[in-house]
Amino acid sequence: MIKKLTKEDKIKNFDPTAMAFEGRNIFGLPFTTEESEIVIIPVPWEVTVSYRKGTASAPTLVSEASDQVDLYNPLIKDFWKKGISLEPISKTLLKKNKELRVKAERHLANIVLGEKAKKNIKLEKELAEINKESEKLNLWLKNEVIKFSKLGKKVAVLGGEHGAMLGAFQAHAEINGDFGILQIDAHHDLRDSFEGFTYSHASIMHNALKIKELKKLVAVGIRDYGEGEVDVVKNSAGRVEAFYMKDMAGEMSNGATWDNLCKKIIKNLPEKVYISFDIDGLDPKNCPNTGTPVPDGLGYEQAVYLIEQLAKSGKKIIGFDLNEVGKGEWDANVGARLLYRLASFL
């Protein structure tokens, strides 16, 4: 009878500098979900995207690219020993995403017609179906995050479009009570039911603000937004704080350091913080195939430094999502490394 290896056995036999073996978990790690302290939930969903497709493939592509990530972490010795596990990618979600995306494209094509568009009962029914299925997705993700949290796991989410992350926010509200969100993003995502989609990628923070436990939303890297979204920030009585790229660039031109700005950002956050990282918050040279790329943006190490300082501040990072990773080898490469760094800060 073959003895079943314990986590301690696996740690003893594992070489973090060797090539990843086929069949192992994300980052080439040998641990099961039960043995891992950090669980990543994949959400292959891009139903409401309004520009480029491809983010539904992110969980698969980032997982494949993760085999090339060096596991050494200078801040946390032997971090890999804690264990990271990616849950199986749901075939049901992949199928539903594909079906609904076809219907969403018909809806978007009708919008493009503008005044020429005719009332279409079929399209209206399909839009209602998309909104209903998106709500089901939110509930599924919420329950998944709660389930693993009750098992004592730290939970991360890997998307997929940004709009699909709402269930994670709702779960942390239930688990942790009052909390804040650090949003790294090129866009505010404060639009109400953008293009008719209640749970649009451009409406995720509009929907997040409906969660009463969300006491503060701090958005960093914003550089593409509408006047109505700016009004939401101005009228939020301080509940929403925005650090626009143009303003941060101006401050740094006048002598401020990135460290100074990180301190200002972190000061605005409450004690419990969830990180929602839309990869288009980075300079597009790091994410050229993301759904809606925008010129400029944070440097990779700038973003990581901000989160490192947040972790060192004594505030508690309760969870995170990484979303909008585009369909491209370089995008997956950057996404995998960012995912590993984010996991370490949990």
* CB-CB contact of 66 with 118 (8 Å): no
State residue 236's pLDDT score.
98
Whose structure tokens read 């995207």?
A: 49
Which of 196, 265, 206, 273 minimizes the C-alpha distance to 233?
Answer: 206
Strands of the sheet with 214-222, listed across from one edge: 84-86, 38-43, 154-159, 316-323, 272-278, 179-184, 214-222, 240-244
Per-residue model confidence as pLDDT tens for the chain (346 residues): 567 889 999 999 999 998 887 778 999 999 999 999 999 999 999 999 988 899 999 999 999 999 999 999 988 989 999 999 999 999 999 999 999 999 999 999 888 887 666 678 899 999 999 999 999 999 999 999 999 999 999 999 999 999 999 999 999 999 999 999 999 999 999 999 999 999 999 999 999 999 999 999 999 999 999 999 999 999 999 999 999 999 999 999 999 999 999 999 999 999 999 999 999 999 999 999 999 999 999 999 999 999 999 999 999 999 999 999 999 999 999 999 999 999 999 9
Q: Residue 317 in contact with residue 311, Cβ under 8 Å?
A: yes
Is residue 17 domain-resident? no
Task: Report which DSSP code applies to 1.
Answer: -
Q: Is residue 233 helix, strand or coil?
A: helix
Give a yes or no: residue 202 inside a domain: yes
The DSSP symbol for 3 reads P
Residue 325's nearest CA partner among 95, 158, 145, 91 is: 158
Residue 8 included in any domain: no
Asked if residue 85 belongs to a domain, the reply is yes
Within a domain: 7: no
DSSP 262-328: HHHHHHTS-SEEEEEEEGGGB-TTS-TTSSS--SS-B-HHHHHHHHHHHHHTT-EEEEEEEE---SS
CA distances from 71 to 81, 221, 252, 320, 321 (A): 10, 28, 33, 20, 20
DSSP 105: H
Kindly list the distances between the CA atom of residue 337 and the CA atoms of 69, 71, 139, 206, 342, in Å, as whole numbers in the listed order.
6, 10, 29, 29, 9
CATH number of the CATH domain containing 300:
3.40.800.10
Contact predicate 157/141, CB 8 Å: yes
**44 belongs to a structural domain:** yes
How far does CA 178 lie from the centroid of its chain? 20
Q: Which domain holds residue 50?
A: 33-345
Residue with tokens 């996991």: 343
Q: Which amino acid does the sequence have at 83?
A: G
Considering the domain boundaries, does residue 24 fall inside one?
no
Residue 117 has what pLDDT?
60
Q: How many domains does the chain have?
A: 1
The answer to whether residue 11 sits within a structural domain is no
Q: How far, CA to CA in Å, does 211 sit from each of 165, 179, 258, 316, 345? A: 13, 10, 31, 19, 25
